[in-house]
């Protein structure tokens, strides 16, 4: 099966004009990983991907580094890029930990937020409602906005440690995998929670804000239950998708062709 690069139209966050090769490769791989085209633990190498996508290795290398920074893959000096995944226990642990931290952050935000802070949070919540649509199409873009919404509340908590710990649990790769499983009613419930959070924070109601945030985060545990059942890392990954390469002669350190 051949691979096709994402189209060249400019999207949110991209520079004006045509997309760079690196951005197009990134979007193609991001969408394929999120869509399950690659198995958890599968190795992605520059050479095979460059051949499949008909680009040089430089944009592939740049795309893989960005994917690693966002939690879609992990980079290994000897194995290249490996598709990242989460077991059911991993996912549950992430949501439960986030619920504890972010509920406290939301309560603190309700005590600290200024009128301007609330206006900005409300504006972001409204933009998310406009972007959601029915059905939700731009999952990656919506996931980024959702992360920004939560990050703003964390910042308003005034506790840098809480903010850092929680943000480390919000890999974009994890969020995109989660939101891909959302039904329209789940999206609407999430947006309603955001509206309630804005109201609670705006009203200075710490207990209300904390309770809404806790329920909001934990609700996703019933939807996203991980990407795998912790497979044996010594088992070889399946093959079939163009761009996969199980050989050990290509790594992220290879020179661009």
Domain 1-85+232-257 coded CATH 1.10.10.10: yes
Radius of gyration of the chain (CA): 20
Q: Alpha carbon 209 to chain centroid distance?
A: 24
Where along the chain do its domains lie? 1-85+232-257, 88-222
Q: Do residues 67 and 174 make contact, with C-beta atoms less than 8 angstroms apart?
A: no
Whole-angstrom CA distances from 189 to 2, 72, 232 are: 38, 26, 36
Per-residue pLDDT in tens (0 to 9) along the chain, 257 residues = 455 566 555 444 444 456 899 999 998 998 888 878 888 889 999 999 999 999 999 999 999 999 999 888 999 887 789 998 888 888 899 999 999 999 999 999 999 999 999 999 999 999 999 888 767 778 888 889 999 999 999 999 999 999 999 998 988 888 888 888 888 899 999 999 999 999 999 999 999 999 999 999 999 988 887 776 544 433 444 444 545 544 433 333 333 43
For the domain made up of 88-222, give the CATH fold: 1.20.120
**Two tokens at 1?**
């099966």
């Amino acid at each position: 099966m051949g691979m096709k690069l994402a189209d060249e139209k400019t999207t949110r966050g991209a520079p004006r004009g045509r997309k760079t090769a690196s951005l197009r490769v990134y979007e193609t791989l991001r969408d394929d990983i999120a869509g399950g085209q690659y198995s958890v633990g599968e190795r992605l190498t520059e050479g095979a991907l460059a051949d499949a996508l008909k680009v040089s290795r430089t944009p592939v290398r740049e795309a893989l580094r960005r994917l690693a920074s966002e939690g879609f893959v992990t980079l290994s000096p000897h194995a290249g890029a490996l598709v990242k995944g989460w077991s059911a226990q991993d996912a549950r642990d992430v949501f439960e930990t986030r619920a504890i931290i972010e509920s406290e952050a939301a309560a603190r935000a309700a005590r600290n937020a200024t009128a301007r802070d609330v206006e900005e949070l409300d504006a972001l919540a409204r933009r998310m409602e406009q972007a959601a649509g029915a059905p939700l199409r731009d999952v990656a873009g919506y996931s980024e906005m959702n992360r920004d919404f939560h990050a703003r509340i964390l910042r308003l908590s005034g506790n840098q440690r809480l903010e850092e710990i929680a943000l480390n649990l919000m890999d974009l790769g994890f969020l995109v995998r989660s939101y891909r499983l959302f039904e329209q009613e789940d999206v609407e419930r999430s947006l309603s929670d955001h509206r309630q959070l804005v109201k609670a924070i705006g009203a200075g109601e710490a207990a209300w804000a904390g309770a809404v945030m806790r329920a909001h985060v934990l609700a996703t545990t019933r939807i996203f239950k991980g990407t795998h059942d912790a497979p044996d890392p010594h088992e070889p990954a399946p093959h079939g998708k163009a761009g996969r390469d199980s050989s050990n002669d290509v790594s992220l350190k290879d020179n661009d062709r």
